[in-house]
Amino acid sequence: MKALYAHAAHDLRLAPCETAPPGPGEVVVRMERGGICGSDLHYYNHGGFGAVRLREPMILGHEVAGRITALGDGVEDLAVGDLVAVSPSRPCGTCTECLRGLPNQCLDMRFYGSAMPFPHIQGAFRDSLVAQAAQCVRADGLSAAEAAMAEPLSVALHGVRQAGEMLGRRVLVTGCGPIGVLVILAARRAGAAEIIATDIADTVLEFARAAGADQVFNTATHPDALAPYTAGKGTLDVLFECSGAQPALVAGIATLRPRGRIVQLGLSGDMSLPMMMLTARELTLTGSFRFHEEFAIAVGMMQQGLIDVTPLITHSFALEDYAQAFAMAGDRSQAMKVQLEFPPS
């Protein structure tokens, strides 16, 4: 068996990786598809992000789906041959935050492909993976490519949940990568009345428009595009900031009416805020980090045809062509979501 390891910036290697037999409550999943995420690109391009750095070789990947090939003792709700989406979220269930009902804030989280702890948590870009049965959600009726989109869709669903009531709301989404576009889909499904989207790349803005955004603006070529929405004390209700860019956050805050809500999904480090505006308008700023129970909801919504993720999957590459795959994933002029295809057994 092989896995895709990141050793340092621009140093990816396909190397052997052993797969142990499944223990009680575990299954073996033969991977079929894996999506390249922004965090994977950070490890590839920079060897990490912020204070998080690679300190040992680490298998990348956490957006995966495959078929079960073996069952451990006590597994009853899954069967060999099932297509499953595999959640990378593995909270301990016993720490203070888990017991408070916040498993996404687990103090001992084992999230696939994360260099935050040391030793690092190895990821899921490997031919075969031993997973807890509880992580696996049957994806009947979906393709493996769709099932592998459950993780980013879960991030978007968690973010929209953080915004509270969406029915009839006027929404701004800044940053139209995969998470931003999935937020557009999720916000519309939740009842948003109007959605405005901004980015600095025309290609991704076309995906936003196709996903249902009512207005799209390239703020690189039209820096004053949001000015009409700042009239009075602002005209919009909710800002989903998905870029992690301070200029986008500050410009978005200026569009919010009093008691509007900011949901920060983009991760890029600390940013300065216009605190007087937040205070005077009584705005609410909330973070949105990962997900947990939204994973099964994401699979169900795709199965029911409530959210269609297929237009976002723009490219796929064989695992051995990982170099081309990562280069394409970093090219916003061409790609939205790039996936790796794992070889059949």
Q: What is the pLDDT of residue 267?
A: 84
- Cα gap 160→335, rounded to integer Å: 24
Is 303 exposed, middle or buried, given 0-12, 13-18 or 19+ CB atoms closer than 10 A? middle
- Cα gap 311→91, rounded to integer Å: 31
Q: Is residue 144 predicted with pLDDT exceeding 90?
A: yes
Q: Is residue 268 predicted with pLDDT exceeding 80?
A: no
Give the residue from 314, 301, 298 showing the smallest Cα distance to 206. Answer: 314
Q: Percent of the chain at pLDDT above 70?
A: 100
Q: Is residue 151 predicted with pLDDT exceeding 90?
A: yes
Is 154 exposed, middle or buried, given 0-12, 13-18 or 19+ CB atoms closer than 10 A? buried
Q: What is the pLDDT of residue 270?
A: 82
Q: At what angle do helices 294-303 and 150-162 cross, to 10 degrees?
A: 110
pLDDT, tens only, 152-181: 999 999 999 999 999 999 999 999 999 999
CATH for the 154-287 domain, from 3.40.50.720, 1.10.10.10, 3.30.70.1110, 3.30.70.270: 3.40.50.720
* Segments making up each domain of the chain, as ranges: 2-149+309-341, 154-287
Residue 21 pLDDT class (50, 70, 90 cuts): very high
Q: What is the pLDDT of residue 298?
A: 98
Q: Is residue 105 predicted with pLDDT exceeding 90?
A: yes
Give phi and psi for 144, each to the nearest 5: -60, -35
Q: What is the pLDDT of residue 51?
A: 83
- Cα gap 293→140, rounded to integer Å: 19
Residue 101 pLDDT class (50, 70, 90 cuts): very high
Residue 345 pLDDT class (50, 70, 90 cuts): confident
Q: Please check whether residue 298 is in contact with residue 142, taking contact to mean a CB–CB distance below 8 angstroms.
A: no
Residue 302 pLDDT class (50, 70, 90 cuts): very high
Q: What is the pLDDT of residue 217?
A: 98
Q: At what angle do helices 178-189 and 150-162 cross, to 10 degrees?
A: 60
DSSP state for residue 312 in the 8-state scheme: G
Give the residue from 309, 289, 288, 5 showing the smallest Cα distance to 142. Answer: 309
Residue 112 pLDDT class (50, 70, 90 cuts): very high
- Cα gap 232→280, rounded to integer Å: 13
Q: Is residue 1 predicted with pLDDT exceeding 90?
A: no
Q: Is residue 203 predicted with pLDDT exceeding 80?
A: yes
Q: What is the pLDDT of residue 310?
A: 97
Indicate if 154-287 has the same CATH topology as 2-149+309-341: no
Which CATH architecture group holds 2-149+309-341?
Alpha-Beta Complex (3.90)
Mean residue pLDDT of the chain comes to 96
Q: Is residue 142 predicted with pLDDT exceeding 80?
A: yes
